[in-house]
Structure 1
Amino acid sequence: MSEDRESKTEAASEKKISDAIAEGNTPFSREAPVFASILGLLIFLVFVARDQGLPLVQRLALILEQPRNFSVETSHDAMRLVHALALETGRFLLPVLVILLVAGIAASIFQNAPRVVFDRIQPKWSRISPVAGWNRLFSVQGFVEFGKNLFKFFAIGGMSYMVLHADRHEIVNVMFVDPVGLPEFLLTLSVRLVSAVSVATIALVAGDLVWTRVRWQRDLRMSRQEVKDEFKQLEGDPLVKAKMRSLAQDRLRKQMMAAVPRATMILANPTHYAIALRYDQSENDAPTVLAKGADLIALRIREIAEKHRIEVVVDKALTRAMYDHVEVNQAIPAEFYRAVANLLVYVMTRKRR
């Protein structure tokens, strides 16, 4: 297994990455939704709990302080009391459940686009195999998970201890001296605790996001033989060939347009063809073709030339004759030397004026 991993030294190809994503194999940090839920809980405590929690506590206290108003003599009375308590509690808990759900979903979508992959939910023996589970436990990922849990235990425990230790005198005072202020104090304490926990887990979440992506890319690495086999397979695919041709044409087109401003002159067949030529005795013995194109590409070449004040020479016969016999980034054939030389003399003369 280790030898197989050591042989996979090449980065995953675009095809392997797209295949992995299509199969549902994507980098996913389980800590991110947990952290988002903690932040959601903090938002609930700060913006919702104060307005809804304190009135709820007061209503529940009323039930406990005035039990005569809620006599439980029959099963119907008991059900009515349970229903009232459940309704009050449900109104309070519904917002927090919605916030936690939305936060968890948002954190998941932030990492990967949502998709349904039925292969991922099909039962597999490797998921429940004791041998596979034992191997996972003592794998690199197993030790990483152990380290994360250890970090959470000490970080969250330490932050919680510091908050509670700092408020220890106030806790005793509220519980035994001023119990009326207990709900308000518990809310404030909860906000401080959740804030401390969220701060303690920021580094863990950031590290886990990076680690999951690095591990995913490492697991998708390919051997040189796999790269060669995949390339051979793609070479025979007509769709891939067409895509590669299209990409090559786009790349060549961009290179040509970028080279037009360096041209000495543009040879044109007014609207259908255009050839950008450059002549510099210090570079080449003959004029070089920087770009050529027909119709829309020819029009674009002329537009760039006019923008950079490059002379456009219209010679319908010469342009058409040269178009099929010249290649980009190559010198023009010898048979066109005299005709092009005459045009270059004309262009140079106009520039001197």
Structure 2
Amino acid sequence: MSEDQDNSDKTEEPTQRRLEEARKKGQIAVSRELGSFLMMLTLSGSVLFLSPWLMHKTSLSLVAFIDHPNAIELSGDGVKKVLVAVLGIFTAILATPILLAVLVAIGSSVVQNGFLISYDALAPKLERISLVKGLGRLFSMRSLVELIKGIFKIVLVGAVAYISVRPLLHTIPIMHTLSIEGMLALLKMMTKRMLIGICLVLGFIAIVDFLYQRFEFMKSMRMSRQDIKDELKQSEGDPEIKSRLRALRSERSRKRMMSAVPKADVIITNPTHYAIALQYDRSTMKAPRVVAKGVDIIAAKIREIAKEHDVPIMRNPPLARALYDTVKLDEEIPEKHYHAVAEVISYVYQLKGVAA
């Protein structure tokens, strides 16, 4: 009951930090069905691509058994030798496709989540050998889904394989009348139809399973609002995180400040190093307010934006430096600068034809 309550509280999407910590522990979304599909696709492609060479090698290897069946001893040792020889032939022939398929299956995990070695996942833990938790995992909803999925896949793949070769089944009773080349050609056709059908089914299952595994993983990573608050407190204690947050706040503040420049009434400069943007609305303000200020690069940007929006730029080095040093952003100017600023504002209003 408490576990259900805990899960019901986890309604928020996981943060990047939680996902990174889960990855370090080896907790990632992996679709085994995608690996199976890629493995089967590689194996099928290799077999079909190499089929001329495989058929040639197979015919050369089996010709002795088919052309001279009387030479085969029917004793236990004779049959054993034949089976070992046939097994060796097919192992040598299929070694390359199987090796490629295994490598692709291993690489499928890398394709899904990148290269990852988690020592935490490899470390021995008592909970992994706990009988109670083991039974819990065995009878969990995830295990039930995997069981149903496995049964469904076996039935579906078997049905598709049968449907694929069904039109050719009537040829099996007469295969002994065909030449070696004819038998191999027929087997190739049946194999090709069956492999294509199986790959299509496994591909569909892989897509569905991939999306399902991603959904289940993100669901398991969900956090409660309290989790997010706790993580935020921990993160803000990290000097690197603090520095990054300060940089983000500074960038946001700068963008907000620059967006206020077009609304300014005048820009006071010194003229190159300092730039102060003043705004004055007699109906709502007691005195002009500093809406943007900066030095060097930022000052140049303020002047650039002001020119683009036809905001007057006035050169007054002493006033520019004084306002920059004594007035904070979004504050009204102090009384000691009223007279100097009033002269500038009056001049600007005269230029605009507005009564001061």
Q: What TM-score comes out, normalization by structure 2 length?
A: 0.79
Per the alignment, do residues 197 and 334 of structure 1 end up closer, same or farther by CA in structure 2, a change over 3 Å counting? Answer: same
The residue aligned with 1:41 is: 43
TM-superposition CA deviations, 1:149-169 (whole Å, max 9, x none): 133123212211211223323
Structure 2 distance, partners of 1:257, 1:298, is 10
TM-superposition CA deviations, 1:126-148 (whole Å, max 9, x none): 33444323211221211221221
Q: Which residue identity is paired with 2:9?
A: S
Structure 2 distance, partners of 1:176, 1:288, is 101
Contact in 2 for aligned 1:56/1:89 (Cα 8 Å)? no
Structure 2 distance, partners of 1:162, 1:71, is 37
Q: Which residue identity is paired with 2:190?
A: L
Is the aligned partner of 1:251 residue 2:236?
Answer: no
Q: How far is the alpha carbon of 1:109 from its aligned partner?
A: 1.8
Structure 2 distance, partners of 1:195, 1:281, is 79
The residue aligned with 1:274 is: 275
Q: Which residue identity is paired with 2:152?
A: F
Structure 1 distance, partners of 2:252, 2:235, is 20
Q: How far is the alpha carbon of 1:98 from its aligned partner?
A: 4.2
Structure 2 distance, partners of 1:270, 1:173, is 100
Contact in 1 for aligned 2:290/2:333 (Cα 8 Å)? no
Is the aligned partner of 1:26 residue 2:28?
Answer: yes
The residue aligned with 1:4 is: 6
Structure 2 distance, partners of 1:100, 1:168, is 28
Is the aligned partner of 1:164 residue 2:165?
Answer: yes
Per the alignment, do residues 345 and 201 of structure 1 end up closer, same or farther by CA in structure 2, a change over 3 Å counting? Answer: farther
The residue aligned with 2:318 is: 317
Structure 2 distance, partners of 1:172, 1:304, is 87
Name the SS for the 1:26 alignment partner.
coil
Structure 2 distance, partners of 1:186, 1:350, is 94
Q: What TM-score comes out, normalization by structure 1 length?
A: 0.79
The residue aligned with 1:192 is: 193
TM-superposition CA deviations, 1:98-147 (whole Å, max 9, x none): 43244224421222121222221123343344432321122121122122
The residue aligned with 1:302 is: 303
Q: Percent identity?
A: 33
Structure 2 distance, partners of 1:307, 1:53, is 74
Unmatched segments (≥5 aa) in structure 2: 74-79
Contact in 1 for aligned 2:43/2:98 (Cα 8 Å)? no
| Counterpart mapping for 1:27-106 below 5 A | 27-46=29-48, 48-64=49-65, 86=88, 89-90=91-92, 92-106=93-107
Contact in 1 for aligned 2:288/2:333 (Cα 8 Å)? no
In terms of mean alpha carbon deviation, does 108-117 or 93-102 score higher?
93-102
Q: Which residue identity is paired with 2:37?
A: F
Q: Which residue identity is paired with 1:332?
A: E
Count of residues in Structure 1 that have an aligned counterpart in Structure 2: 342
The residue aligned with 2:77 is: none
Structure 1 distance, partners of 2:172, 2:339, is 100
The residue aligned with 2:208 is: 207
Structure 2 distance, partners of 1:227, 1:143, is 31
Structure 1 distance, partners of 2:311, 2:107, is 54
Structure 1 distance, partners of 2:170, 2:286, is 93
Structure 2 distance, partners of 1:52, 1:283, is 89
Unmatched segments (≥5 aa) in structure 1: 73-77
The residue aligned with 1:75 is: none
Per the alignment, do residues 165 and 5 of structure 1 end up closer, same or farther by CA in structure 2, a change over 3 Å counting? Answer: same
